Chain A
């Protein structure tokens, strides 16, 4: 292995390759900030450039740099504008945006940068040590387990089901699950609930719904309430707040440690990926947090920001395990990377490490390098990026509206998405006035399709619901999900009873 690392170092540390990482990270970060252009589209744009380099190592290093940069850039728009451009950063906005509203935009961006860096770096170390042995882990999960994993992911809604909000959160989740059924599913040949409209055939777009639920209501709020400033209630200047206090660092360190591991292993599973990892990370950290910290979640908790940010970056690194050791792409982005690899005459699979170790190791070394360079590039930029929020509102509102609309339009080039966006955006604003939490709707929508597909496959394979009992891991995951949902309400009930002075013995 040591030889491999040295080989990777000597390949990655050439001037060209370092320039590739820097260039890739920069391009990725800046394009990734635009909602609607996720890692997948950016990599697709960059592939012809990478291939024209001719050198597979350099090309992969460039693309990997673009990939990390794009994921990193994606969290910026989630935190500052509440406009998550990819599903993997939705959970980032749960606490990142409230922090920005409290005038802590700089701090939120710093935490996101550090959490991303740690998740990515720890992920790369795990990848380096365990990649060959992990390929069997990647194949451990069948549809039944994926179904159970999605159920665990759904339990993240508990964070939004605070006191008196349980029914509302559940209603929104179910609405999200229902919206996920619109269009042509993977399991049926017939379009469902499209009302004969051709534009609904492929379902609602994720970006459209994310913008409609989060970014658009925010912009409309700014218009409707002239006193509400974009910068948040506390205008104490974001640069001062950039630093993380030792106490804060101490509280997020264990979160980052746990989520690097958990996120990485979820990323290794080809059917899960960064989105699931971020929701699970959020749900798990909330549940194991102390009572008073738990109430912070969803309102600007630093733990709630660090958890999904670490997990989604670690998961992105983890997704390289099935890609490099089995040749299986776990996500749309890795599928595009696989296409690029094959075009460069590199066949990923069990023989890659033996036949072309320089490629395998230089990718891993480029991950360290990419993460490090992202941190170095971005930390000094944060005060300037955070300044976006101090732009006067009459310039900021059109800016947010423009990027929101562009984000929904750009991926699909379909003007109907714009109508849907505005329609849903208005509905979402009304729901917000009525104090309905909107995040559960989006969680339900994102997980709904995968939940249904895996459930139906498991049913079909085992001729009925029997798979829940036949497969111990499925049962185990479902029990965990039940605990994650029931435990908080049980605790809350007990606390209420105690308050009322009728607590039982303990």
Chain B
């Protein structure tokens, strides 16, 4: 496993050399952690992969962490990596596993037997809000319009998303419908493999509205292709101030698709504190700002106990909704 990470880095180093480029000298700053091993529960190139590698890059370039290594361990929707971390807890005190909202959803549906409670909660680091969007050509201007058109002919009104039924995009749409006083189980949800084909389906008119991530929607809204009807943030987000929140349209929904880091169970208190400290200090560095801006991430920092409270709250909201939808 470890040799793979080395190969990847060797290839990358080789590629850098071929292109005749070198990374700038590392910033000074005081090192808080010698090395971090990032465990990524999915394959190369995915969202988890990007989060771990981006965070590792910022931490090492800023000099907060001496070195970072990465290991991709996909399988079981992330369950394989969780199992590995728990079984080999003793030898993995310096390991951080990246994860996100699906860990909550998948432990509820029983995809894997463990939950976030079996791990050491290090910190939630970034997040993305959810949104409902329509085609710019659509008559629907606001959530009120959408709900009116839905009530007119529920059967021909399909909302799409880039996840399975019972997955995140579906749950967000259901949450919104429920908060708006509609039956969350009644509307037609059409699943697509990923956000791209779902967006194509929206533009081609196959679906009327799309439930998707805010950062994905902003790019399309800036290009004038979609209209953002509402975002699940507590207040409007700076990057795209034109987008109204759900709450300001009297639909009481707040939802964050977070990403964060977990340690093995029984991680020593001082190791945990050092990791949390390094992550907290990372937010003020230009190196992090560069990585964050490049990826369009929103800083949502939830260290330790706050992270626990946040996850418990999210687990309850999602769990209640999934019971209602008949997925649990």
**How many residues of A are in contact with the other chain, CB < 8 A?**
68
B76:A198 contact, CB within 8 angstroms? yes
B112: chain A residues at CB < 8 Å are 198
**Which residues of A (127-142) have their CB < 8 Å from a CB of B?**
138-142
A186: chain B residues at CB < 8 Å are 164, 191-193
Partner pick for A187 among B7, B73, B191, B196, CB 8 A cutoff: B191
Q: Does B224 contact A (CB under 8 A)?
A: yes
Q: Does A463 contact B (CB under 8 A)?
A: yes
A154 vs B208: C-alpha distance when bound (angstroms): 31
Cβ contacts A183-194/B at 8 Å (1 or 0 each): 011111101000
Q: Does A296 contact B (CB under 8 A)?
A: no
Q: Does B190 contact A (CB under 8 A)?
A: yes
A141:B44 contact, CB within 8 angstroms? no
A463:B155 contact, CB within 8 angstroms? yes
B45:A336 contact, CB within 8 angstroms? yes
Partner pick for B224 among A62, A139, A191, A349, CB 8 A cutoff: A349
Q: Does B222 contact A (CB under 8 A)?
A: yes
- Distance from B160 Cβ to chain A, minimum over Cβ atoms (Å): 9
- Distance from A448 Cβ to chain B, minimum over Cβ atoms (Å): 14
B45:A40 contact, CB within 8 angstroms? yes
Q: Does A330 contact B (CB under 8 A)?
A: yes
- Distance from A428 Cβ to chain B, minimum over Cβ atoms (Å): 23
A45:B223 contact, CB within 8 angstroms? no
B4:A413 contact, CB within 8 angstroms? yes
B206:A143 contact, CB within 8 angstroms? yes
Q: Which residue of A lies closest to B162 (CB)?
A: A186
B223:A138 contact, CB within 8 angstroms? no
Most buried by B among A352, A453, A461: A461
B224:A45 contact, CB within 8 angstroms? no
A461:B190 contact, CB within 8 angstroms? yes
B80: chain A residues at CB < 8 Å are 198-199, 414
B295: chain A residues at CB < 8 Å are 339, 343
Q: Does A348 contact B (CB under 8 A)?
A: yes
- Distance from A409 Cβ to chain B, minimum over Cβ atoms (Å): 8
Q: Does B75 contact A (CB under 8 A)?
A: yes
A457 vs B197: C-alpha distance when bound (angstroms): 12
A49:B16 contact, CB within 8 angstroms? yes
B15: chain A residues at CB < 8 Å are 27, 45-46, 49
**Which residues of B (199-236) have their CB < 8 Å from a CB of A?**
199-201, 203-207, 219-220, 222-225
Q: Which residue of B lies closest to A37 (CB)?
A: B11
A413:B200 contact, CB within 8 angstroms? no
Sorting the interface of chain B by its residue count into under 10, 10 to 19, 20 to 34 or 35 or more gives 35 or more
Q: Does B57 contact A (CB under 8 A)?
A: yes
**Which residues of A (343-369) have their CB < 8 Å from a CB of B?**
343, 347-352
Cβ contacts B144-165/A at 8 Å (1 or 0 each): 0000000000010010000011
B45:A41 contact, CB within 8 angstroms? yes
Q: Does B43 contact A (CB under 8 A)?
A: yes
Q: Does B25 contact A (CB under 8 A)?
A: no
Q: Which of the segments A246-254, A320-328, A373-381, A393-401 contacts the partner chain?
A: A320-328
- Distance from B168 Cβ to chain A, minimum over Cβ atoms (Å): 12
**Which residues of B (1-43) have their CB < 8 Å from a CB of A?**
1, 4, 7-8, 11-12, 15-16, 18-21, 23, 43
Cβ contacts A397-429/B at 8 Å (1 or 0 each): 000000000000111111010000000000000
A416:B75 contact, CB within 8 angstroms? yes
A26 vs B257: C-alpha distance when bound (angstroms): 39
Q: Does A10 contact B (CB under 8 A)?
A: no
A411:B165 contact, CB within 8 angstroms? no
A351 vs B243: C-alpha distance when bound (angstroms): 20
A390: chain B residues at CB < 8 Å are none
Q: Does A106 contact B (CB under 8 A)?
A: no
Main secondary structure of the interface of B (DSSP, over half): mixed
Q: Does A44 contact B (CB under 8 A)?
A: yes
Partner pick for B196 among A23, A49, A330, A414, CB 8 A cutoff: A330
- Once A185-B164, A199-B76 are accepted as A-B contacts, the answer to whether A347 and B222 lie under 8 Å apart by CB is yes
- Once A45-B12, A201-B76 are accepted as A-B contacts, the answer to whether A142 and B4 lie under 8 Å apart by CB is no
Q: Does B71 contact A (CB under 8 A)?
A: yes
Q: Does A335 contact B (CB under 8 A)?
A: yes
- Distance from A55 Cβ to chain B, minimum over Cβ atoms (Å): 12
Cβ contacts B79-120/A at 8 Å (1 or 0 each): 110010000000000000000000000000101100000000
Q: Does B249 contact A (CB under 8 A)?
A: no
A348 vs B20: C-alpha distance when bound (angstroms): 28
B265: chain A residues at CB < 8 Å are none
Q: Does B299 contact A (CB under 8 A)?
A: no
A410:B4 contact, CB within 8 angstroms? yes
A332: chain B residues at CB < 8 Å are 45
Cβ contacts A263-276/B at 8 Å (1 or 0 each): 00000001100000
- Once A186-B164, A351-B223, A461-B190 are accepted as A-B contacts, the answer to whether A335 and B204 lie under 8 Å apart by CB is no
Q: Does A114 contact B (CB under 8 A)?
A: no
Q: Does A48 contact B (CB under 8 A)?
A: yes
B43:A411 contact, CB within 8 angstroms? yes
A189:B167 contact, CB within 8 angstroms? yes
- Distance from B60 Cβ to chain A, minimum over Cβ atoms (Å): 13
A23:B18 contact, CB within 8 angstroms? yes
A53 vs B15: C-alpha distance when bound (angstroms): 13
A322: chain B residues at CB < 8 Å are 200
- Distance from A493 Cβ to chain B, minimum over Cβ atoms (Å): 40
A189:B164 contact, CB within 8 angstroms? yes
B200:A62 contact, CB within 8 angstroms? no
B191: chain A residues at CB < 8 Å are 186-187, 453, 457
B196:A270 contact, CB within 8 angstroms? yes
Partner pick for A328 among B12, B158, B203, B294, CB 8 A cutoff: B203
A143:B73 contact, CB within 8 angstroms? no
B294: chain A residues at CB < 8 Å are 51, 343
Partner pick for A411 among B44, B83, B109, B201, CB 8 A cutoff: B44
- Once A189-B109, A189-B166, A414-B80 are accepted as A-B contacts, the answer to whether A328 and B196 lie under 8 Å apart by CB is yes
Q: Does A202 contact B (CB under 8 A)?
A: yes
B223:A349 contact, CB within 8 angstroms? yes
B164: chain A residues at CB < 8 Å are 184-189
A461:B158 contact, CB within 8 angstroms? yes
Q: Does B271 contact A (CB under 8 A)?
A: no
B206:A461 contact, CB within 8 angstroms? yes
Q: Which residue of B lies closest to A330 (CB)?
A: B196
B111:A201 contact, CB within 8 angstroms? yes
Offer 16 A-B interface pairs, CB within 8 angstroms, sorted by A: A23-B18, A27-B18, A41-B44, A45-B8, A52-B21, A138-B200, A184-B77, A189-B327, A198-B112, A330-B197, A350-B223, A411-B43, A413-B1, A413-B4, A413-B43, A461-B190
Supply 7 further A-B pairs (C-beta < 8 A) apart from A191-B111, A416-B75, A461-B190: A26-B18, A45-B44, A62-B19, A187-B164, A328-B196, A328-B200, A410-B4
Please provide the 4 A-B residue pairs with the shortest distance between their CB atoms, ordered closest to farther: A349-B223, A198-B76, A189-B166, A44-B45
